[in-house]
Amino acid sequence: MTVQVPTGPALPRLFVVLVGGAAAVILVVGLRSLAWLIGPLLLALVVVITVRPVETWLRRRGLPGWLSSTVLVLLVYAVVAALAGTILVSLARLATVLPGYRAEAAALVGDLVGQLAALGIGVVPIRELAAGLDLGRVAGVAAGVLSGVVGLAGSLVFLFSLLLFLAIESGGFRAKLGVLAGVRPAVAGVLGDFVRGTRRFLVVTTVFGLLTAVVDTVVLLALGVPLAVLWGLLAFITNYIPYVGFFIGVVPPALLALLEGGPGLALVVVVIYLVVNFVLCSLVQPRYIGDAVGLSLTVVFLSLGFWAWLLGPLGAVLAIPLTLLVKALLVDVDPRAAWLGDLLAAGPADKGDA
């Protein structure tokens, strides 16, 4: 007598989906509570992945492993210290410059109220806004931001320590990946693809971010917009944030240009930013990134909101690399999830705008 064993799932699919979803929610909430640890760790990991070829190049030139790792760590430290120092100095200047524009801001609001009144539009809310307008408060907010940035010194020390340890251990990454390939070849393959794709994306984005920042800084200096270096640095950082980064980068210099030279100067700044961003970041940059991202526009936009919520501003900057990592570990590694990878991938129309 033959006994038939049922081949269907032991649990109802709906139950598995509900339990898996609940577990995912608990995991995400737990990760959000550890954002102070996970954020710097992922940033250090991405930085080491990006600059790892420098150490490889140094070793090929004959430098011993310890010396090449030391050069790599010092290089990363110098870049991070330069960025942090520029931000601190620029924010300090911003806190002192803003109060000097009280009269200009009041005049602009007064002109707006007069024009709206001439058109017969109610201006009571705007008058209340003008009465409460005080750039000294804005300067106070800027000073608070400055204090917060200074308070990140402990986080920077933690980040430097992570960079040091990861840079030292990165020399054995290839050997560890080889061991993993012998046991789990699929996992090793997707991790290798993730490293190559992330490195290509970040290198190209960094190069074009530098070009954008240099052009914006030179233009702002030529137009006489204050704190041009700060706004150029902001353009460089926001270049890593897809889609919304441009708007974050253009608003502060446009507002300061409005206070400094009126609507005409602000319009010139916006137009130049639009032209530079469109040419470099929308036409040229995607040709060099190619299929390194391979994510649809909707997925990138949703992932931006998710990582920003989970890790804060750092999550917005690292949204694409982190999405690629999650996709590699949860989708690409499982042949049964190939259909999900096809849903997440960019279509023919998206690849031209990646």
The greatest distance separating any two alpha carbons of the chain, rounded to the nearest whole angstrom, comes to 97
pLDDT digits (tens, 9 = 90+) for 201-211: 888 888 888 99
- The reported pLDDT for the residue numbered 277 is 81
- The reported pLDDT for the residue numbered 288 is 65
Express as a percent the part of the chain with pLDDT over 90.
4
- The reported pLDDT for the residue numbered 153 is 46
Which pLDDT band, with edges at 50, 70 and 90, does 245 fall under?
confident
Which pLDDT band, with edges at 50, 70 and 90, does 150 fall under?
very low
- The reported pLDDT for the residue numbered 2 is 52
Q: Of 31, 3, 116, which is closest to residue 312 (Cα–Cα)?
A: 31
Q: Which residue has the higher pLDDT, 146 or 65?
A: 65
Neighbours of 183 (CB within 10 A): 8
Mean pLDDT (the chain) is 75
Answer yes or no: is pLDDT of 218 > 90: yes
pLDDT digits (tens, 9 = 90+) for 55-92: 778 788 887 877 877 777 787 777 777 777 777 776 77
DSSP letter string, 213-262:
HHHHHHHHHHHT-TTHHHHHHHHHHHTTSTTTHHHHHHHHHHHHHHHHH-
- The structural domains of the chain, with segments of one domain joined by +, span 37-100+134-167
pLDDT digits (tens, 9 = 90+) for 289-323: 655 577 777 888 888 889 989 888 888 888 888 88
Answer yes or no: is pLDDT of 145 > 50: no
